[in-house]
Amino acid sequence: MIIFPAIDIKGGKCVRLLKGDFNNITEYSKSPTQQANQFSKLGFTHIHIIDLDGVLEGKLINKNIIKEIIKKNNIKIQVGGGIRSLKNIKDWLDLGVDKVIVGTIAIENTEFLKDACNKYKNKIALSLDVRNGYLALSGWKNQTNILATDFIKKIKDFSISRIIYTDINKDGTKTGPNIQETFNFSKLTNIPVVVSGGISSIEDINHIKEKFKNIEGVIVGKAIYDGSININNLSKII
């Protein structure tokens, strides 16, 4: 199982949101670069980075910070936020990003998703942000009436490298992930699925690792930053 420690960037700082609410934001003292350096030194092999300014503005905002992280660390980075074109994807891949995360545009335009997967094989991760079973877009601000379980049927044959399944109601709450819903979703596809939202303890992660073999990994954010999960212990799960 892959552990993805998360870095969300807004205004050049590491932050976390509660349930995707940009009005409920916590800033942390370490810079994104310092945080990434720590993750790398502890032996994590992957980092999940979201440019929250990019999410809001629909374009790449914190590119230079992420570029610096890539330069300083030999670690696989998946990046999302504000990616709206094939050129955006190419720009990130040219910088050395391992996977590019697409969300809103991929759901609004499945042909774009298909083209991206064909052009950049094994490099496209799909972010599905789910609230009560239905997809939400544009930084979780726009709620759709599209069931995630229906959407996966439309794109199940695309060459997507992984799906990041986020339960919005769990994100940032540290109340435990919605494992059963994510697992049920994962059974609908052969695409590897990553659990996101609500991870609160090492026990959560070990439970997923032991019981749900088709889950590729977990994203851990808030619980790292407020110390609920000891980062040194987390690094030993790798």
Give the active site residues. 8, 129
Q: How many CB atoms lie within 10 A of CB 26?
A: 14
Q: Please report where in the chains the tokens 């998703």 appear, as a residue.
A: 113
Distances (CA, A) of 126 to 12, 143, 191: 24, 17, 10
Selection from 17, 9, 113 nearest residue 64 by Cα: 9
Half-sphere exposure of 195 (CA within 13 A, CB side): 30
Count of other CB atoms within 10 angstroms of residue 210 = 9
Which residue type does 166 have? T
Distance CA 138, CA 218 (A): 22
How many CB atoms neighbour CB 87 within 10 A? 9
- Taking the C-alpha atoms of residue 25 and residue 87, their distance in angstroms, rounded to an integer, is 30
Query: How many angstroms from the chain centroid is the CA of residue 134?
Result: 18
**CA dist 1 to 44, 96, 118, 154, 232, Å?**
12, 23, 26, 27, 17
Burial of 190 (0-12, 13-18, 19+ CB in 10 A): exposed
